[in-house]
């Protein structure tokens, strides 16, 4: 009986809002929402601010700014009265220069912040590279020390040369008929091997 009851019971949404709200699918991304404020790419804005800051820091900008100010002043002094737009105290020119400065300062700061971020990343990469170089140098130092210890047990060129010369002398003695007592290297005095190395 219990299975029949479960089959006949239908699932009804609970609450007043459950029937009107559509179910969200979790396997698909949500559609983008409409925004009232415009969106911009922060990287593109940062690159633009760097370009402007680079231009503001050049001699070309100073020359153009000087030309504009001189033309502004000359026009407003020597032009006919009806064509002048900023008389002698040049209040409008002062306003324009302060407006330009108020925009230039944040743009320069933004460019400096981006440069600081790049410098921080470069310093971190340099630090990691230095750590790798130090580790490699320490490894090579240990390997060279191991090779030196290993070479201490290897016969040197001078020792091999002296052994070969002794053998050549023995062979010459045999050829000349002096068949005396043959001295093998094991029968020699042990002090010679130490000195020859």
For 113-170, write each residue's pLDDT tens digit. 999 999 999 999 999 999 999 999 999 999 998 888 877 767 778 888 888 999 999 9
What pLDDT, on a 0 to 100 scale, did the predictor assign at position 131?
96
What pLDDT, on a 0 to 100 scale, did the predictor assign at position 42?
79
- What does each C-alpha distance from 38 to 35, 41, 48, 189 come to in angstroms? 7, 10, 17, 97
What pLDDT, on a 0 to 100 scale, did the predictor assign at position 72?
94
What pLDDT, on a 0 to 100 scale, did the predictor assign at position 33?
80
What pLDDT, on a 0 to 100 scale, did the predictor assign at position 12?
55
What pLDDT, on a 0 to 100 scale, did the predictor assign at position 148?
83
What pLDDT, on a 0 to 100 scale, did the predictor assign at position 44?
86
Q: What are phi and psi of 31, to 5 degrees?
A: -70, 150
What pLDDT, on a 0 to 100 scale, did the predictor assign at position 5?
52
What pLDDT, on a 0 to 100 scale, did the predictor assign at position 178?
55
What pLDDT, on a 0 to 100 scale, did the predictor assign at position 159?
82
Residue range 2-57, pLDDT digits in tens: 555 555 555 555 555 555 667 778 888 888 888 888 777 878 888 888 999 999 88
Distance from C-alpha of 140 to C-alpha of 157, rounded to nearest angstrom: 25
Half-sphere exposure (CA, 13 Å, Cβ side) for 54? 8
DSSP 28: S
93 pLDDT higher than 90: yes
Distance from C-alpha of 192 to C-alpha of 101, rounded to nearest angstrom: 89
182 pLDDT higher than 80: no
- Cβ-based neighbour number of residue 46 at 10 Å: 16
């Amino acid at each position: 009986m219990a299975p029949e009851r479960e089959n006949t019971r239908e699932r009804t949404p609970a609450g007043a809002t459950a029937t009107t709200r559509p179910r969200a699918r979790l396997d698909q991304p949500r559609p983008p929402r409409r925004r009232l404020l415009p969106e911009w790419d922060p990287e593109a804005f940062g690159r633009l601010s760097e370009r402007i800051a680079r231009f503001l820091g050049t001699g070309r900008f100073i020359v153009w700014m000087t030309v504009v100010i001189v033309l502004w002043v000359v026009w407003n002094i020597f032009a006919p009265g009806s064509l002048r737009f900023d008389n002698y105290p040049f209040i409008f020119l002062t306003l324009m220069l302060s407006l330009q400065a108020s925009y230039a300062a944040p743009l320069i700061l933004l460019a400096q912040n981006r440069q600081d971020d790049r410098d921080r990343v470069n310093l971190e990469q340099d630090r990691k590279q230095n750590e790798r170089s130090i580790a490699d140098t320490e490894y090579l130092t240990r390997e060279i020390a191991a090779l030196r210890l290993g070479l201490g047990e290897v016969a040197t060129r001078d020792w091999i040369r002296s052994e070969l010369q002794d053998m050549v002398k023995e062979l010459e003695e045999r050829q000349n008929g002096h068949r005396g007592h043959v001295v093998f290297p094991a029968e020699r005095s042990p002090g010679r091997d130490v000195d020859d190395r």
